[in-house]
């Protein structure tokens, strides 16, 4: 495996590429402004599946007329055979709940290694529908569950049963038929841990590829199921869904606070993701030729992104305001791109002075889309060896310099100011899910999760200076003997000094912290779109909208489903456009 330090020299050549500084990139608000790109995990997974022509067949489809029962897909990939097992059960509408406390779901599913015989299928049937209450073995990579969209599912079934096509504007309002509420992997509940998956099954050796594949398969099953139910509901009038509408149907996702700590607990991996993206941008800035053809393609992508943003529906005022600003930014970029320039760096610098953070980072995603030949190969550098090593012989004077150079952002923070340490992160006893606590009102701060990296660095630095004043010639080992509780943060400081990025430069203990930025950052690397926050702690979004379908495997693939738009479906008769009520914010977006 190529380590980060080696990546730099192998990709930059003799002249160093102009990477953006960590002080800019690792700002929490900027991280929360990032968007999907060619390097997002869904995109790289689809390239892999399509180019390697995975064979995915329905080996078992035992569904009743209501779509309840068992389905098994068999997947043949270059390095192995796998099974996607799904259980569909009737769910009382009053029991349908997207929160982690739910105990029943419309669908539960698992991605497992090898073929599934009757005996193993029964074992899965007894445990998979129970989710956290069940137990599975290490053949299982991923465990997940999903609920129907109340606004779309029955409507689509009834429409197809009547021999008609769904109104694309109704599909646009939601974008999916099912919404996942959890996708578990990496050793949880008895499943194979990440090291085992990565080493034994190369088809899923990239981070979160098995989880993303599970969501891809769920999306395809949702399309199969609505047609199955509609066909049984009215066999004489049933009509299958138009293929262009099918491709526009994605899979929904509800992401809460549980995802937020990952980026702090895995700084080396997060550094690798950020560095991969920044290297891609640097390549485009230096090597991306700017001519009339590429400028035309650039403006088309700006137009597509503008329309995609208009089609993003949310009732959240904060997100709506950002969407309005993004549309303004895209228009300004479109206009500015008509001016003469020879390097994309000129437009990037202009955007940093004239656009919002959302607009700036969306420009990055659009630029990466223009140069697949410069960008795609970097997806092979999305993994990292996650070892935070302690260097016991490092002189304390060197450790002090490292902190002052790399963590200057933490040293400038005022941790005794009002609100600076009002929040603490902990895990709930019932579901072991991350939660936010009020340090001034709630008990349990003594059991908090170690997410306040900046504050920990500040405390370490203060104690280090006191120690150095007395023992200036000691090394790190002696300091650790005297201050054993600082071992964890010192190990992190020394290890992260080998990286360019990785540490989020924010005080995550501040009462005004927005965990939504952490969720957005991680989800952007997954490749989701159409963010719809429901609070500052959880967000709905859409996955795989516009992606290829199972029936597309083996056909022509141009990897062009960035910022998908709703299809303009036309049959012999024009489909009526259904008017919908909009909020003030939605009306403003439409006006733009």
| pLDDT value at residue 424 | 85
Q: With 60 as the cut, is the pLDDT of residue 580 above it?
A: no
Q: With 90 as the cut, is the pLDDT of residue 94 above it?
A: no
- Interhelix angle 344-354/317-336, rounded to 10 degrees, is 140
In the numeric block, which tokens belong to residue 533?
């926050």
Binning pLDDT at 50, 70 and 90, where does residue 103 land? confident
Binning pLDDT at 50, 70 and 90, where does residue 413 land? very high
Is the separation of the CB atoms in 180 and 215 below 8 Å? yes
Q: Where are the alpha helices (DSSP H) in 80-208?
A: 118-127, 153-161, 168-174, 194-200
The DSSP string of 26-81 is TBHHHHTT----TTSHHHHHHHHHHHHT-EEEEEEEEE-TTS-EEEEEEEEETTEE
| pLDDT value at residue 10 | 38
Question: Per residue in 489-501, pLDDT tens?
Answer: 999 999 999 999 9
Q: With 90 as the cut, is the pLDDT of residue 450 above it?
A: no
Look up tokens 């997974």; give the residue. Answer: 45
For a pLDDT cut of 90, what percent of the chain falls above it?
76
Q: Identify the DSSP state of 423.
A: E
- Tell me what the mean pLDDT of segment 389-417 comes to: 97
In the numeric block, which tokens belong to residue 175?
């974008």
| pLDDT value at residue 592 | 56
Contacts of 471 (CB under 8 A, 6+ apart): 396, 478
Q: Where are the alpha helices (DSSP H) in 391-475?
A: 396-406, 408-411, 453-470
Is the separation of the CB atoms in 303 and 334 below 8 Å? yes
Binning pLDDT at 50, 70 and 90, where does residue 536 land? confident
State how far the Cα of 586 lies from the Cα of 373, in Å rounded to an integer.
37
Is the separation of the CB atoms in 531 and 319 below 8 Å? yes
Q: What is the SS3 assignment for 240?
A: coil
Identify the weakest region by mean pLDDT among 356-365, 532-541, 557-566: 532-541
- Which residues, in sequence order, are bridge partners of residue 323? none
Backbone angles phi, psi at 60, to 5 degrees: -150, 130
State how far the Cα of 364 lies from the Cα of 110, in Å rounded to an integer.
35
In the numeric block, which tokens belong to residue 74?
């068999």
Report the relative pairing of strands 176-184 and 250-255 from DSSP bridges. parallel
In the numeric block, which tokens belong to residue 220?
């395809």
- Tell me what the mean pLDDT of segment 168-177 comes to: 92
| pLDDT value at residue 584 | 45
CA-wise closest residue to 46 among 584, 470, 549 = 549
Helix (H) or strand (E) holding 142: strand 140-148
Q: With 90 as the cut, is the pLDDT of residue 376 above it?
A: yes
Helix (H) or strand (E) holding 540: strand 539-543
| pLDDT value at residue 585 | 44
| pLDDT value at residue 449 | 87
Count of alpha carbons within 13 angstroms of residue 157, beta-carbon side:
21
Q: With 60 as the cut, is the pLDDT of residue 581 above it?
A: no
Q: How many CB atoms lie within 10 A of CB 113?
A: 19
Is the separation of the CB atoms in 129 and 70 below 8 Å? no
Mean pLDDT score across all residues of the chain: 90
Question: Per residue in 26-56, pLDDT tens?
Answer: 999 999 999 999 999 999 999 999 999 999 9
Q: Identify the DSSP state of 550.
A: G
CA-wise closest residue to 87 among 103, 107, 67, 72 = 107
Q: How many CB atoms lie within 10 A of CB 386?
A: 14
Q: With 60 as the cut, is the pLDDT of residue 9 above it?
A: no
Q: 189's torsion region: left (phi>0), alpha (psi -120 to 50) or beta?
A: left
State how far the Cα of 82 lies from the Cα of 354, in Å rounded to an integer.
49
Identify the weakest region by mean pLDDT among 44-48, 201-205, 274-278, 314-318: 314-318
Gap between the terminal Cα atoms of the chain: 48
Contacts of 368 (CB under 8 A, 6+ apart): 37, 38, 39, 277, 280, 281, 284, 375
Backbone angles phi, psi at 196, to 5 degrees: -70, -45
Contacts of 34 (CB under 8 A, 6+ apart): 361, 364, 365, 520, 521, 524, 525
- Interhelix angle 357-370/317-336, rounded to 10 degrees, is 50
State how far the Cα of 284 lies from the Cα of 364, in Å rounded to an integer.
10
Question: Per residue in 328-351, pLDDT tens?
Answer: 999 999 999 999 999 999 999 999
In the numeric block, which tokens belong to residue 206?
């990239």
Report the relative pairing of strands 539-543 and 250-255 from DSSP bridges. antiparallel
State how far the Cα of 520 lies from the Cα of 504, in Å rounded to an integer.
13
Q: How many CB atoms lie within 10 A of CB 349?
A: 11
Question: Per residue in 225-277, pLDDT tens?
Answer: 999 999 999 999 999 999 999 999 999 998 877 788 899 999 999 999 999 99
| pLDDT value at residue 286 | 94
């Amino acid at each position: 495996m190529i380590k980060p330090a080696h990546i730099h020299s192998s990709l930059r050549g003799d002249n160093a590429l102009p990477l953006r500084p960590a002080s800019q990139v690792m700002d929490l608000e900027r991280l929360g402004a990032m968007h999907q790109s060619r390097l997002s995990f869904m995109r790289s997974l689809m390239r892999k599946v399509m180019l390697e022509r995975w064979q995915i067949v329905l080996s078992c489809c035992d569904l009743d007329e209501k779509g309840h029962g068992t389905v098994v897909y068999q997947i043949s990939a270059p390095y192995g055979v796998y099974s996607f097992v799904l259980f569909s059960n009737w769910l009382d509408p009053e029991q349908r709940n997207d929160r982690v406390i739910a105990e029943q779901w419309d669908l539960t599913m698992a991605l497992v290694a090898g073929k599934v015989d009757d005996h193993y299928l029964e074992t899965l049937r007894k445990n998979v529908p129970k989710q956290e209450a069940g137990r599975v073995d290490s053949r299982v990579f991923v465990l997940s569950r999903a609920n129907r969209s109340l606004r779309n599912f029955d409507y689509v079934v009834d429409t197809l049963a009547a021999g008609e096509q769904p109104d694309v504007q109704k599909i646009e309002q939601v974008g999916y038929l099912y919404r996942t509420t959890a996708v578990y992997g990496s050793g949880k509940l008895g499943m194979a841990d990440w090291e085992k998956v990565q080493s034994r099954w190369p088809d899923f050796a990239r981070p979160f590829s098995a989880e993303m594949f599970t969501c891809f398969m769920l999306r395809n099953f949702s399309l199969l199921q609505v047609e199955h139910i509609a066909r049984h509901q009215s066999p004489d009038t049933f009509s299958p869904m138009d293929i262009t509408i099918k491709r526009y149907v994605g899979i929904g996702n509800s992401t809460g606070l549980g995802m937020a700590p990952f980026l702090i607990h895995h700084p080396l991996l997060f550094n690798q993701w950020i560095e991969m993206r920044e290297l891609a941008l640097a390549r485009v800035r230096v090597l991306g030729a700017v001519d009339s053809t590429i400028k035309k393609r650039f403006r088309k992508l700006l137009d597509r992104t503008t329309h995609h943003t208009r089609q993003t529906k949310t009732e959240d005022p904060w997100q709506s305001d950002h969407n309005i600003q993004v549309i303004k930014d895209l228009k300004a970029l479109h206009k500015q791109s008509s001016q003469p320039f020879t390097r994309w760096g000129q437009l990037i610098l202009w955007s940093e002075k004239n656009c919002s953070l959302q607009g700036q980072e969306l420009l990055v995603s659009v630029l990466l889309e223009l140069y697949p030949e410069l960008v795609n190969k970097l997806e092979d550098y999305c993994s990292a060896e996650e070892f935070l090593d302690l260097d016991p012989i490092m002189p304390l004077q060197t450790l002090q310099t490292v902190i002052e150079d790399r963590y200057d952002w933490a040293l400038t923070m005022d941790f005794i100011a009002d609100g600076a340490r009002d929040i603490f992160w902990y895990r709930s006893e019932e579901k072991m899910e991350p939660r936010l606590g009020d340090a001034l009102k709630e008990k349990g701060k003594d059991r908090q999760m170690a997410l306040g990296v900046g504050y920990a660095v500040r405390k370490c630095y203060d104690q280090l200076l006191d120690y150095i004043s007395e023992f200036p010639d000691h090394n790190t080992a002696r300091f650790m003997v005297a201050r054993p509780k600082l071992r964890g943060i010192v190990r992190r400081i020394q290890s992260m000094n080998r990286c360019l990025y990785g540490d989020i430069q924010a005080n995550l203990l501040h009462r005004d912290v927005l965990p939504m930025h952490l969720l957005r950052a991680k989800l952007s690397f997954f490749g989701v779109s159409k963010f719809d926050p429901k609070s500052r702690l959880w967000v709905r979004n859409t996955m795989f909208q516009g992606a290829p379908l199972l029936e597309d495997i083996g056909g022509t693939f141009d990897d062009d489903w960035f910022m998908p738009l709703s299809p303009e479906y036309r049959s012999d008769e024009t489909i009526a456009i259904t008017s919908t009520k909009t909020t003030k914010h939605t009306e403003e977006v439409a006006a733009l």
